[in-house]
């Protein structure tokens, strides 16, 4: 999947991955795709809640090795 921008949130813990994701999305255009890479296991569920609440689309969410990868399309 192609991402407009990538956010490296590895090594960060709650609530930083979500806060940084929000900050990155703020600077992007509607329809752009943000790829987030995180290591916080809590981000798996938090990212779903975040996207549901904010109306952004969580296109995919997967685990590769010790990393969690999320693709989010800005509303």
Partner 1 sequence: MSIAKLQPVDSHTGAMPSDLASLETWFDQRLDEKLAEREAAKTPSLAIIATKGTMDMAYPPFILATTAAALGWDASIFFTFYGLELLKKDLHLKVSPLGNPAMPMKMPFGPEWLQHINMPIPNLVAGNLPGFENFATSMMEQTVKAKGVPSIKELRDISIESGVKLVACQMTVDLFNYSKDEFIPEIADWIGATSYLVDAKNADVCLFV
Active site residue 51: no
Only segment of 11-19, 28-36, 58-66 that touches partner 1 (CB under 8 A): 11-19
Residue 35: in which H helix or E strand, if any?
Answer: strand 33-38
Q: Which two tokens stand for residue 6?
A: 């990538």
Strand partners, 5: 34
Q: Which of 3, 12, 37, 58 binds partner 1 (CB under 8 A)?
A: 12
CB–CB of 67/37 below 8 Å?
A: yes
Binders of partner 1 in range 26-45 (CB under 8 A): 39-40
Contact residues for partner 1, defined by CB under 8 A: 11-16, 18-19, 21-22, 39-40, 50, 53-54
């Amino acid at each position: 999947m192609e991402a407009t921008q990538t956010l490296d949130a590895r090594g960060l813990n709650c609530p930083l991955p979500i806060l940084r994701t929000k900050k990155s999305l703020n600077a992007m255009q509607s329809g752009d795709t943000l790829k987030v890479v995180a290591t916080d296991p809590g981000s798996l569920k938090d990212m779903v809640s975040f996207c549901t609440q904010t109306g952004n689309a969580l296109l995919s969410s997967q685990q590769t090795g010790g990393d969690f990868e999320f693709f989010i399309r800005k509303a």
